Amino acid sequence: MENETTKFHALQLFTDTISAETVHLTNEAVGMYNRLIWFSWTKNTKPFTTESAYRICQCMDLPCYKKVDKILREFFIFNKKELNWTHGRLVKEHKYLTDKYKARSEAGRKGGLAKSDNASSKMIAPIPIPIPIPNKQLKIVFDEFWSLLTYKKGSKYLAGKRYAQQCSNLKPKQVADAFNRYASKVKDKEFLAHVSTWINQRRFEDDENNKPKEIKEPTYEYKGIKLKKMGEFGEFIELKDDKGNRYQKHKFRNIPIEKV
């Protein structure tokens, strides 16, 4: 029975691509992304569920779940039938290495390293995702799109990659107008989506998705007393009641509100 190499401890990260892809992420989000691709690689790039992703990223509350969901939607491929996720580039890289070592092993059995070198030299390394912009014309089109934007949030480099993947057959003004309509409806620009994320989610196709997300301020109560948020200081949210009494709630730990 033939032994087939299926697990590789070393992973080529394509650091230039990854740094460009994640430049808009927080340090916490980058850590989550790294955890997910490391796990995927150690499991031979087999699909994993959303619940597994939460465990991999050590999520214990809803805010953490939402951060992982955002990473999954932006960087991973969802199988609607199987309800699981894969990473496109890792799958291609794993297949490339598996085929390469299988060919090298076969050549070795046939009689020497020379045959092995010839066999492996025919293997073509996968192109990292996102696929580079194919020609100068598309770059000109993207530059026109970028110049028409009212708000240029996020990495222009990454937005160009996403534009090449999702919008190569669209008119730049059409896409720019759609983003500008979306941006004009977001009152707090802190919550404006990065251009690359907006493009990658193909939100220019769905007017409903172009509406800004309504973020409701949570309500706070202490033993039936309604509290007002006064601000955030360090790890705590500062609160007050109508009588001026002060309270605090930890932003990350799921513990009850305390009176101070």
Containing structural domain, residue 189: 136-200
CB hemisphere CA count around 33 (13 angstroms): 20
Identify whether 195 is part of a domain. yes
Asked if the model's pLDDT at residue 121 lies above 50, the reply is: yes
Nearest to 202 by CA among 160, 258, 162: 162
Q: Does one domain contain both 9 and 119?
A: yes
Average pLDDT in the chain: 81
Quick one: 123 and 166 in the same domain?
A: no
Among 120, 110, 181, 117, which Cα is nearest to 151's? 181
The yes-or-no verdict on residue 29 having pLDDT over 70 is: yes
99 is a domain residue: yes
pTM beyond cutoff 0.75: no
Residue 234 CB partners (closer than 8 Å, separation 6+): none
Q: Are residues 149 and 240 in the same domain?
A: no
**Within a domain: 210:** no
Where do the H-state alpha helices sit in the chain? 15-21, 27-42, 50-56, 62-75, 88-111, 113-121, 136-147, 156-166, 172-184, 195-200
- Whether residues 6 and 118 share a domain: the answer is yes
SS3 helix, strand, coil % of the chain, rounded to 5? 45, 10, 40
The average pLDDT across 154-169 equals 89
Q: What is the CB neighbour count within 10 angstroms for residue 184?
A: 11
**Residue pair 58/28 in contact by the 8 Å Cβ criterion:** no
At 180 the pLDDT is 92
Higher-confidence residue: 197 or 103?
197
Instruction: Taking residues 33-39, report their average pLDDT.
Output: 90
